[in-house]
Structures are given as structure tokens and as C-alpha cells.
């Protein structure tokens, strides 16, 4: 694996290839990242992983400053997975150039996390757009856990007629049905126990919705999960993934964002 911290050196290395498969990350790699990277490595071509904690997508300085990092472990994982290139740039390397494409934010950016994290998705699309212009990958692989982010990146790419293809990858979960996330590292033992109980309840609640045993009631769910230890609820919504609206059929995902302790957790299933 070759490590690059400078975009010009990286571009010089990869310009001879037209089959780069790109996996953007903020580090603190976990089994979810590993699954995406394995898919990339299995594809024909070269796999390039980025590690960059992007300040522009954080609307809370404390969240940025406490975001988990584990560079040594990340390097071990990437080498074990036989990644070809790692791009670990500085802030200036990413942001000190003028982009060719303008940021496009689909109206879905105002829903879900967009209602609670001002400027978050603009920061996400900005940095992804910059990576795409630096790397010019054939494909970009993204996880379904961050469905809203995945959708908005797709729309930006389509709107700007960028040639990179987007591949969505399934959410990887532990034995308690909790989606792997770097932020889980910030939870203590008691908080993890609370999360397990909440996820068990939400999974059962969705099952009851599907079997028509009960109707969706936000206040009821909020009251219940707060009694289980959730500190704050941003949203719990049912969304049809095709229409991005409240479902009229039994085909929907339950989306949530809530806090346990000081940690904000999101998922959809």
C-alpha cells in the first residue's frame, strides 16, 4: 500500500489508471468500512481509500474535536485488506484549490439530518466533490447506513454529469443489530447497554408496524426510548426509499437520529 498526503504526488501516481475504485472515510475504521473496502478490492482495478476528518461537515466544534481516531489500527486494517493507495491529506491539500463543479444540494438535504445539522450536507458534498476532482475515480463506494448522504452524493454526481459511478453497500451490523459506526467508540459500557435495548425495541416496533399490529406514533416511540436512556431525539420517521416520502405501502425504512449521552447516532432499517 502506498500512502499519499499530497494530491499532486497522488495524481502523478494514479493518472495512468482509469479504473480507480474510491472509498472515502474519516478513519476509525470498523467492520462496516472493511466490508465496503473488500467489495472495492474484489473489483478489477485499484482501490484508493481516503482518511480525512472533514471540519466543514461538523456543525459542532466539540463533536469535531472528539471525533475518534486510531491511525495505527487504520493502517493495519488497510494493509491487511490489500488496499493499493491511501490518501491522507491536510486541510489545505483538500480545500486550497478552486473546483470545476458547483455543489448541488437536492431538496432532500432539508429533511432528516438536514433539519438538525445546519451546513452538514453542504460540507459533505463539498469535500466529496473535491475528492472526485482530485482522484477522478471510476467508482465510489458508499454505505447505506448513511442513506441520506448516499442519495445526495448521487444527485450531485448526476446533476454535474460526473462520470464516476456510485455503488451502495449494505449496512453491516453486530449481533445486537447495531450498525457499526466510528461514534460507537465514544459510548461507555452502560450507554452501550442502553443502545442495545433501544435498538431491540425499534426493531420490534417496525415488525409490529409491518404486521399492522400498531400504527406509527412518534410521541409514543420517543417517550419509550427516552425511558430507556436516550437523552434526546432528533427524529424517528418512516420513509419510502423510492419516493422519499411517508410510505403508503409496507415498503419503508425506519430512520432515526438520537443521542445517548453526548453521542449522536443515526441509522435506517
The verdict on whether 33 is a catalytic residue reads: yes
182-268: CATH topology is 3.30.1300
| pLDDT exceeds cutoff 90 at 12 | yes
pLDDT classification of 44: cutoffs 50, 70, 90: confident
Cell of 67: 471525533
Q: Find the radius of gyration of the CA atoms of the chain.
A: 19
Residues 250-269 have a mean pLDDT of 97
Round the average pLDDT of the chain to a whole number and report it: 97
Q: What percent of the chain has pLDDT over 90?
A: 98
What per-residue confidence (pLDDT) applies to 207? Answer: 97
Please give the CATH architecture assigned to the domain spanning 2-169: 3-Layer(aba) Sandwich (3.40)
pLDDT one-digit tens code per residue, 197-220: 999 999 999 999 999 999 999 999
Active-site choice (33, 84, 120, 156): 33
Q: Is the dihedral of CA 197, 200, 206, 210 positive or negative?
A: negative
Indicate the pTM of the whole model. Answer: 0.96
CA atoms within 13 A on the CB side of 224: 14
pLDDT one-digit tens code per residue, 78-113: 999 999 999 999 999 999 999 999 999 999 999 999
- In whole angstroms, give the CA distance from residue 251 to residue 124: 28
In this predicted structure, which of 50-54, 106-110, 149-153, 247-251 has the lowest mean pLDDT?
247-251
* Domain ranges within the chain, ordered by starting residue: 2-169, 182-268
Amino acid at each position: 500500500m502506498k500512502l499519499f498526503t499530497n494530491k499532486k504526488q497522488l495524481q502523478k501516481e494514479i493518472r495512468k489508471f482509469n479504473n480507480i475504485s474510491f472509498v472515502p472515510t474519516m478513519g476509525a475504521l470498523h467492520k462496516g468500512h472493511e466490508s465496503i473496502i473488500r467489495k472495492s478490492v474484489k473489483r478489477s482495478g485499484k482501490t484508493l481509500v481516503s482518511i480525512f476528518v472533514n471540519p466543514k461537515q461538523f456543525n459542532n466544534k466539540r463533536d469535531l474535536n472528539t471525533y475518534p481516531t486510531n491511525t495505527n489500527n487504520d493502517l493495519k486494517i488497510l494493509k491487511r485488506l490489500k488496499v493499493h493507495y491511501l490518501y491522507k491529506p491536510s486541510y489545505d491539500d483538500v480545500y486550497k484549490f478552486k473546483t470545476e463543479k458547483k455543489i448541488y444540494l437536492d431538496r432532500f438535504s432539508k429533511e432528516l439530518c438536514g433539519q438538525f445539522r445546519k451546513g452538514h450536507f453542504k460540507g459533505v458534498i463539498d469535500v466529496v466533490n473535491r475528492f472526485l476532482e482530485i482522484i477522478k475515480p471510476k467508482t465510489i463506494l458508499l454505505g447505506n447506513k448513511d442513506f441520506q448522504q448516499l442519495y445526495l452524493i448521487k444527485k450531485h454526481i448526476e446533476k454535474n454529469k460526473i462520470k464516476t459511478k456510485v455503488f451502495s453497500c449494505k449496512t453491516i451490523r453486530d449481533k445486537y443489530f447495531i450498525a457499526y459506526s466510528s461514534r460507537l467508540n465514544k459510548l461507555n459500557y452502560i450507554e452501550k447497554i442502553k443502545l442495545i435495548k433501544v435498538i431491540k425495541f425499534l426493531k420490534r416496533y417496525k415488525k409490529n408496524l409491518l404486521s399492522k399490529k400498531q400504527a406509527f406514533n412518534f410521541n409514543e416511540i420517543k417517550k419509550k426510548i427516552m425511558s430507556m436512556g436516550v437523552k434526546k431525539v432528533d427524529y424517528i420517521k418512516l420513509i419510502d426509499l423510492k419516493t422519499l416520502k411517508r410510505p403508503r405501502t409496507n415498503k419503508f425504512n425506519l430512520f432515526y437520529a438520537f443521542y445517548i449521552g453526548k453521542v449522536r447516532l443515526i441509522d435506517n432499517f
